[in-house]
Amino acid sequence: MTETPEETEIQQEEQFLEEILAPNDELQVEATELVRYDPLKRYLLEISRFAPLTREEEHRLAVLFRETGDREAGYRLVTANLKLVFKIAMLYNKVYSNLMDLIQEGNIGLIQAVKRFDPFRGTRLPTYAAWWIKAYIIKFILDNSRMVKIGTTNARRKILMNLNKEKRALEARGITPTPRLVAESLGVDEHDVIEVERGMSSGDLSLDAPVDGEGDLVYLDTLKAVEASIDDKIAQGEFQALIEQKFQEFAATLSEREQLILKKRLIAEEPMTLQQIADIYGITREAVRVAEKRLIAKLKKYMTESLKDVREVEFHLGR
């Protein structure tokens, strides 16, 4: 019997989680002990208890939640998609290292998606929720990046940690906390105080707030370009890693002389001259030049065949 796309999707998701939660010694201990071992594995163990929903179950629960606000229905819709949050968070773990932070933000996005989901439009909840999950994760990364940029020096980090406290102390004494007074109290430059205040006052972005204060376009819509940018960085990083892997495999197939030409001339920051290589092997400069030309052609052919699913590959040989 032929499987439906939905059944295939469910099987793939279950297989994915089974691989992640493969039995090991740590997962055999009691839950209270497991927390001390690895909070992430503890979390994965928890969410593995929640089964995915069929299309029919999802639609029934979504209609019930939308029309009555039934808490149990909402709970089932959220918990059935926690694995989706984890998978999406894993994608962005390459640009932000704390995976649990990303999962937490993604879960908030999932809850928002469940609250807003319209089951009568024909779209599956995971498809709709994926956008909200990504949006909240990206927003978190951007907000965190903004705060990191504010605190780029020791002085600014000091201001960031003590600004509000110092302002309250000045106000308690009946003094208006101007940047100059705050700077003097903290022993930092007034300009740094102004820059930190400017960064902090920009506030958190409300994803469902209208971009222009009114109308239908919300900030969530404007995050699409940002998501594409981060996704591009991830893809580029993965592609670069693949190129490096194939390059190493290619190098292992070469003769000793070819390896020397590759490493000491083609990709070296300060390449050897043709004459230097010729002297090592007791051959002419022209012979080295011909060998180098053949090696470049050989490399391009190897990489093109190894990466045949990629339309265009640009090689940089350090010169």
- Give the CATH number for residue 56: 1.20.120.1810
Q: pLDDT higher for 7 or 194?
A: 194
Q: Is 271 helix (H, G, I), strand (E, B) or coil?
A: coil
pLDDT at residue 300 is higher than 90:
no
Tens digit of pLDDT for each residue in 10-39? Answer: 454 444 444 433 443 333 334 444 445 578
Tens digit of pLDDT for each residue in 67-110? Answer: 999 999 999 999 999 999 999 999 888 777 788 999 999 999 99
pLDDT score for 20: 37
pLDDT at residue 224 is higher than 90:
no
pLDDT score for 271: 87
Output the 3-class SS for 86-97: HHHHHHHCCCCC
Q: Is 23 helix (H, G, I), strand (E, B) or coil?
A: coil
DSSP 104-166: HHHHHHHHHHHHH--GGGS--HHHHHHHHHHHHHHHHHHHHHHHHHHT-SHHHHHHHHHHHHH
Same domain, 43 and 114: yes
Identify whether 311 is part of a domain: no
What is the Cα–Cα distance from 319 to 84, expressed in whole angstroms? 45
Closest CA to 224 of 145, 139, 146: 139
Which segment of 202-211, 238-247, 268-277, 293-302 scores lowest on mean pLDDT?
202-211
Percent of the chain with pLDDT over 90: 27
pLDDT score for 187: 86
Same domain, 21 and 98: yes
pLDDT at residue 258 is higher than 50:
yes
pLDDT score for 75: 94
Contact of 115 with 160, CB cutoff 8 Å: no
CATH number at residue 272: 1.10.10.10
Q: pLDDT higher for 3 or 249?
A: 249
Contact of 58 with 77, CB cutoff 8 Å: yes
Q: What is the DSSP letter of 218?
A: B
pLDDT score for 42: 87
Same domain, 137 and 237: no
Same domain, 133 and 253: no
Residues constituting the chain: 319
**Angle separating helix axes 82-92 and 5-20, nearest 10 degrees:** 70
Mean pLDDT of 271-289: 92
Band of the pLDDT at 219, cuts 50, 70, 90?
very low
What is the Cα–Cα distance from 98 to 109, expressed in whole angstroms? 17
pLDDT score for 8: 57
Q: Which of 145, 169, 188 represents a domain boundary (last residue)?
A: 145
Measure the CA dihedral 74/77/80/84, to 10°: -120
Q: What is the DSSP letter of 26?
A: G
List, in order, residues 6 or more apart from 316 with CB less than 8 Å away: none
Q: Per the structure, how many domains does the chain have? A: 3
Same domain, 140 and 163: no
pLDDT score for 28: 39
Band of the pLDDT at 191, cuts 50, 70, 90?
confident
Q: Is 25 helix (H, G, I), strand (E, B) or coil?
A: helix
Containing structural domain, residue 167: 151-201
